[in-house]
Amino acid sequence: MLKGVFHGFWDGVARLILRNRIIILLIISAVTVFLGFQWENMRFSNTEANVLPDDHPETVQYQKFVSLFGEEDNAIVIAISDPALFTPKILNRWNKLSKQFQATPEIDFVVSMENLQELYKDEEKQEFAMRPVILGQLSSDEETKALKKQLFEKMPFYENLLFNPKSQTVRSVLYLDKDILNTSVRNEFVLNDLKTLITNFEKETQIDVKVSGMPYIKTLNSKIIIDEVGTFILAALIVTSLIFFFFFRSIRATLISMCVVIIGVMWALGVLGLLEYEITILTALIPPLIIVIGIPNCIFLINKYQNEVKKHGNQALSLQRVISKVGNATLMTNCTTALGFATFIALDSDLLREFGIVASINILCIFLLSLLIIPIVYSFMSIPKDKHLKHLRKKWIDRFVSWMEHVVRNHRIAVYMTTVVILVTSVIGIYQIQITGSRIEDLPKNTQFFKDIRFFEKEFDGIMPVEVVVNTKKKNGVLKPATLRRMDELAQIIDETPELSKPVSIVNLVKYSKQAFYNGNPKYYQLPTSQENNFIMDVARKSSGNSNLLESFADSTGQTARMTTFMRDVKTPRMEEIEEDLLASINKIFPKERYEVYMTGKALLFLKGTKYLTKNLLLSLAFAIGLIALFMAYLFRSFRMILISLVPNLLPLVITAGLMGFLGVPIKPSTILVFSIAFGISVDDTIHFLAKYRQELTANKWQIKKSVYNALRETGVSMFYTSIVLFFGFSVFIISSFGGTKALGGLVSATLLFAMLSNLILLPSLLLSLERSIANKTVLKKPQIDILPDNEEKPNGK
């Protein structure tokens, strides 16, 4: 009864569409215009992806740190590594550049040579005070040499903060106003004012300026994402239209398909604006994804229409059958694809949840657009001529299908042996996979800002901040000699770690205070002895300017201090080792009953986020497999058929994972995403094949061999067409500048190609070999929903 109702439903849908063509086109136009107006709500992401949930312990700790000391990655650094800097003319121009930055409203303050302050002891007032190192313009080489000597030999407090004494590289630190840190104002400043001021300096001095810092990197990242959205859409349209035309050799069929996917892209962008989601590195992939996934819908519908026209030449009947007979199959396959993306909605990551919501909604939208636009547009056109149907008689396609049938008929043992060999080889490869990643690993490596990142890593030991927070549990506890000695001991351990920079903390300020107490002699840049401590700290407490310095290193109560270091770009396994070693040292140096010490910072948040995301994406894949298995159970009502349908779709995932191991591609968020996406798409072919196979079984009175071969011949061409479109469609992502997007494109393309071969060769072989287990009416019961109706005519009148 359900079956009859369902067939009646699709017949009714066909009549509804074809009888209300003008109204439907007007509705599509109105929706398109409405969603077009939503584009103004689209905004490109100015913040980093929020990977960890807000209630995650690491996030809570980081927010606790921010509440005490503010955001720690609001610095843009500029540097020069050129001996010509230490000439009066160039150095004056460098100092002028610092003043220009300080004058811009977006910059909170600048730390540079221009405003370099020296701590000294005021003998008259018996307190420490600050005085500028540079007074006005430098007018002679002697002044410049004296300044250089003072900087590199007498001011260890600024070492690794403003200069590298070995290479004599000098830098300035521009601290952005924290109120604009995650806004579009930051982008405008970086792309306009910052760029203009630095370009003018380089033109006047002929000296190269290196620029980096997380606000700078995030801004340029966003700009590349914006540029790539248009490139991806254009590339996907060109590639898919060329392949479509190659298969169909019909300009009008190609134009109709392009029209469908272009409207789909407009809807996708409109949904992004309507939901007010930011365009991130993931949501930027959705418009080209819609093109790549939408074209197979067009192939199935147009191929069916042309086959129907070829059979009986009745256009009205052909259009009615396109909707009633292919509509349900296309709906089912689009649902499984949407399901693969929808599993991301269950994750705690905002980045993936938004990607899953928008992708799954728009996959269903592109199905609806395909089903409505293609039959309606064709109904206004003349019936296809013989030249439009030539592609249905291509000999090379027939040879390909015949080859598959020959392999399945005569070489099943070879198929299984090959499968086992590939499976074992892939498992060996899987054991070589590393779960890794780094914060800048996927950034565009051919860009100047990436080269500048490497420069700062070399000169200043990294740009990613790591914070150690020391809570003494007592007011002014950070200035106690015992606390300072413990922090200094930890600082030495951090400094001895090759991947970490020399830390900066209140310890450095106290050492500088002792140096100032002894008239600036650099050999006294050390912690005061127990005898010196009382009178040096007494002078420090009287110092009015010292409190401003303390704000950078301790909270207002003097109870909690921070130690800031910077980490090089290292893989997550090494980051974990560093974290474990430092935590072990912290537990050894700071007694838990007296101190509360924890590590935080964006570098560690990235580490925790990578592990969290990898774990959740594995769960997402398992969830997708489980949901689609239930979907297949509902369709076919047979446990054995579920297992048989999953094998050819899980095997490509294993092969791809094995390839990743052999090629050295690590498991990380950008690559593990591949498996859920590819599985959701590849299972479509299985549904098409098994639906046709079940139909053939009924028509051929349960003769399994004949049913398998008929199903293979009937579905092989469409599956080949769609798989090739998907392969080349996803391949467009390889042109991306981002390593993660590039890997996503290459790996999904490879997985879908393996899936096509698996569904066209392994799946029929399994059905033939297991015919005694599955070729009976009790196992292959009537499905809850017929994907393909039983009364469908055979192609070519067979």
So where are the chain's domains?
2-48+219-431+607-797
Show the tokens assigned to 608: 């925790």
Between CA 385 and CA 389 the distance in angstroms is: 7
SS3 label, residue 347: coil
Angstrom CA distances, 293 to 338, 672, 678, stand at 10, 20, 11
H/E run at residue 719 = helix 704-731
Q: What is the mean pLDDT of each run of 10 residues along the chain (798 residues)?
A: 56 85 92 89 66 79 84 83 88 91 88 84 76 83 87 86 87 85 81 91 92 85 81 87 81 88 92 85 83 84 79 80 78 81 79 87 92 89 68 67 83 89 91 74 80 86 85 87 91 90 87 85 86 68 52 82 86 84 92 90 79 76 77 71 81 87 79 77 78 75 79 79 84 83 85 87 84 52 50 39
Per-residue pLDDT, 794: 39
What are the DSSP calls for 658-698, one per residue?
HHHHHHTPPB-HHHHHHHHHHHHHHHHHHHHHHHHHHHHHH
Contact by Cβ (8 Å): 555, 68: yes
Residue type, position 578, single letter: I
Count CB atoms within 10 A of the CB of residue 704: 20
H/E run at residue 146 = helix 141-154
Q: Which residues of 522-561 are buried (b: 16+ CB within 10 A; e: fewer)?
A: eebbebbeeeebeebbebbeebeebeebbeebbbeebbbb
Give ∠ CA 649-654-659 in degrees, rounded to 5.
130
Number of continuous H segments (helices) and E segments (strands) in the chain: 28, 12
Contact by Cβ (8 Å): 789, 691: no
Place of tokens 């061999």: 705
Which pairs with CB-CB distance under 8 Å and at least 24 residues apart come from 539-546? 539/121, 539/126, 539/127, 539/128, 539/513, 540/128, 540/479, 540/510, 540/513, 542/125, 542/126, 542/127, 543/127, 543/128, 543/129, 544/127, 544/129, 545/128, 545/129, 545/130, 546/128, 546/513
Domain topology for 2-48+219-431+607-797: Multidrug efflux transporter AcrB transmembrane fold (1.20.1640)
Residue type, position 148, single letter: K
Residues in the chain: 798
Extended strands (E) in 415-461: none
* Residues with Cβ within 8 Å of residue 670, at least 6 apart in sequence: 437, 442, 739, 740, 741, 743, 744
Per-residue pLDDT, 550: 65
